[in-house]
A = this chain, B = another copy of it.
Amino acid sequence: MSFEPCNAAMLALGQAPSVIRETFEYGNKRATEIGRENVFDFSLGNPSVAPPESVHDSMRKLMDEIPSVALHSYTSAVGAEPVRAAIASDINTRYQAGVSAGDIYMTCGAAASLTVTLHAILCPGDVCMTFAPFFPEYRVFVEKTGATFEIVPADTVHFQINLEAFRKMVSPATKAILINTPNNPTGVIYTEENLKALCDILREKSAEYGHPIYLIADEPYRELVYDDTAVVPYLTNLYANTFVCYSYSKSLSLPGERIGYIVVSPTMEQQRMLYAAVCGAGRALGFVCAPSLMQRVVAENLGKTADLAVYRKNRDLLYHALTAYGYRCIYPDGAFYLFVQALEPDANAFCQRARDYELLLVPSDSFGCEGFVRISYCVTTEMIERSLPAFEQLAAAYR
C-alpha cells in the first residue's frame, strides 16, 4: 500500500501561503531594512481603526456584572439564546427580514461562517460557483468539502455580477453560489437590479432542475459603505434559499476575536433541516461554540461601528489621486479596497516593479481576474499621503 505521511492537500495549503500574506511578510522584512515609514504596505485587509470604545466598556461591564464562571462557560452550540434574539431583532429593525433567534447560528468569524455553511450543504460532485474577482480563500473552503469550485468570469467594466456568463455556466450540478457585496477586492456594491436579476435566474434554474440552488452571501463589509446613495440589499428579502454569512471583524474592528454568525433564511425550503445541517457541520469541524464573552459583547454593540469615516477619507484621497495620475480604477462604494488596472498586462510584473517604489500591492490573478492590483486602504491616512509620490513616479515610469 502507498503511504502519505500527511494529507497532501492540507500540506499544499500549508506550504503555499497566500500571495497576500507573502506580500505582507515581504513588507515586514523590508521595514527592518529601510524603516517602517518608508514602506507603503497596501496588502492586508486588517482593520486600521480601533473598535468603538463601547466594546471595552461592554467587556468591563460584563466582567463586573456576570459571575466569571458563567461568563466564560460553554454556550449552546448554536450560540447563547439572548444573543441570537438580540441580533435577530437588530436585523429585523434594519431590514424587515422576519428573522428569529432560531434562524441564527453564532460562529467563530467570517471564515467559519463560510466553512460551516459550505460543509452543511455541499457533497462531492456538487458545484459551488462564485463570481470573479473573488476572495481567494473561497476556493480553499469549497474544495475542502469535496465539491467543485467554478468561477464565473468578471464583468471588467462595472464589476457587477456577470449574468450572461452565469446563465451559460449554471447546470443541474450547481448547488450553491457564493457572492460577496460590498466586494473584496473591488469595493463595488452589487446593485439591487443586478442582484434581483441574479435571483430571477436562480429561481428559474431551480424550477428547471427540480432542486434549490442556494445563495450564500458573504457579508463582512455590509456596514462599510461610504455614500448615502449606496444600498446593500438584504438577500433573504430577495431570495428564499439564502444563507447570510456575517462577521464583526470589520464593522467592530475585532478581526482577531473571531465572532460572527450565519442566518438561515426563515423562508428557505426545508428550513429546519438546513439549519440542522449547519449545526452538524459546526460540530464536525470542531467549533463547539462561538467565543462566549464576544457573543455577549457584540449583542451589546448592535448598530455600532468603528469610526468608518477614516476609511471614507482614505478612499477619497487615494481614488482621486490615483485617477489624477492616470490610473484606471472602478469607483468603490464600500469595503476598503481599490481595484486598479495594472499598467502592464502582467499584474505580477507590475507589482514587482511597484516594489522599486516601496509600494506593496497585491496582484489580481488569485482573485480570478488578471491584469489588476488590489490596494487595501485600511491603513493610516498619513501613510497614504506619504505614498502618493511613489504612485505618481510609478505611473510616470510607464509613460
A residues whose Cβ falls under 8 Å from a Cβ of B: 1, 3-15, 21, 46-51, 55-56, 59-60, 63, 67-69, 71-75, 77, 108-109, 111-112, 114-116, 119-123, 137, 140-141, 143-145, 172-173, 175, 209-212, 253-258, 269-270, 273-281, 283-294
Contacts and interface: CB of A to CB of B under 8 A. Distances in A.
Contacts of A7: 119-123, 145, 277, 280-281
Contacts of A141: 284, 286
A257 B384 CA distance: 37
Contacts of A288: 108-109, 111-112, 258
Which 10 pairs between the two chains have the least Cβ-Cβ distance? A256-B292, A14-B280, A115-B286, A13-B280, A14-B276, A14-B279, A10-B280, A111-B286, A6-B277, A3-B211
A10 B281 contact: yes
Given A7-B281, A69-B253, A291-B258, A286 B14 contact: no
A256 B291 contact: yes
Contact of A10 (B59, B109, B120): B120
A13 to B, nearest CB: 3
B73 A256 contact: yes
Contact of A50 (B67, B74, B293): B67
A68 B56 contact: yes
A24 to B, nearest CB: 10
A209 to B, nearest CB: 8
Given A49-B69, A270-B5, A285 B115 contact: yes
A293 B122 CA distance: 33
11 contacts: A1-B172, A5-B269, A5-B273, A12-B280, A13-B279, A14-B277, A68-B253, A74-B256, A108-B291, A111-B287, A112-B288
A300 to B, nearest CB: 15
Contacts of A109: 286, 288
Contacts of A175: 3
